[in-house]
Amino acid sequence: MESKAKLLGHPIHPMLITFPIGLLTTSVIFDVIGLLVNQNNAGNWHNIAYYMIGAGLIGGLAAAIFGFVDWLGVPHGTRARSIGAVHGLGNVVVVVLFGLSFFMRASDPAAPGPLAVILSFAGILLATFTAWLGGELVDRLAVGVDRGAHLDSPNSLSGRPATENAHTHSVNVNQSGD
């Protein structure tokens, strides 16, 4: 099943998910560092985590729009549709968990309360599972992959279908005298 939302021949959703995954994961790493370093430096790490969460939330919402558009194109009654629903709803919960953490930190980002940090940790655990579901959709069920794609598919900007073998095309061109 091909992606419904593309940019220059490539699905937009997978392009955008790298930002929230990276930013939110990094925010948790910075919180862990903030918990481990001496108290004088902890605030710097938690403060950076706060801004990472904010940027990750914006990126997550942008990625969600294109993921939802793609999910609408998945045929009803398929395993891919069910997995896509769990993937999407799970990511909504991830955004809510990190959003709550973000707002709990707002009054003093450098000194988050324990619950704010716990919500971030819960969010990243759930995000690990929803990312696995996303991988299942793409790698196992080929959602968002061009129909007939293979190792010798032509460039997505060529305008030729993914089912066309690049080697066969060059042979055909040579045989036709072009």
Read off the pLDDT of residues 127-156 as tens digits, 9 standing for 90 and up. 999 999 998 888 777 777 667 666 566 776
Q: DSSP state, 137?
A: I
Whether this prediction's pTM lies above 0.85 is answered by no
Residue-wise pLDDT for 34-73, tens only, equals: 999 988 888 899 999 999 999 999 999 999 999 999 889 8
pLDDT at 172 over 60: no
Q: Look over the chain and give the mean of its residue pLDDT values, rounded to a whole number.
A: 86
Which helix (DSSP H) or strand (DSSP E) does residue 55 occupy?
Answer: helix 39-72
* Top mean-pLDDT range of 5-14, 73-82, 125-134: 125-134
Residue 171 is predicted with a pLDDT of 46
Of 138, 63, 136, 140, the residue nearest 94 (C-alpha): 63
- Where b means 16+ CB within 10 Å and e means fewer, 96-129 reads ebbbbbbebbeeebeebeeebbebbebbbebbee
For the chain, what percent of residues have pLDDT higher than 90?
Answer: 55
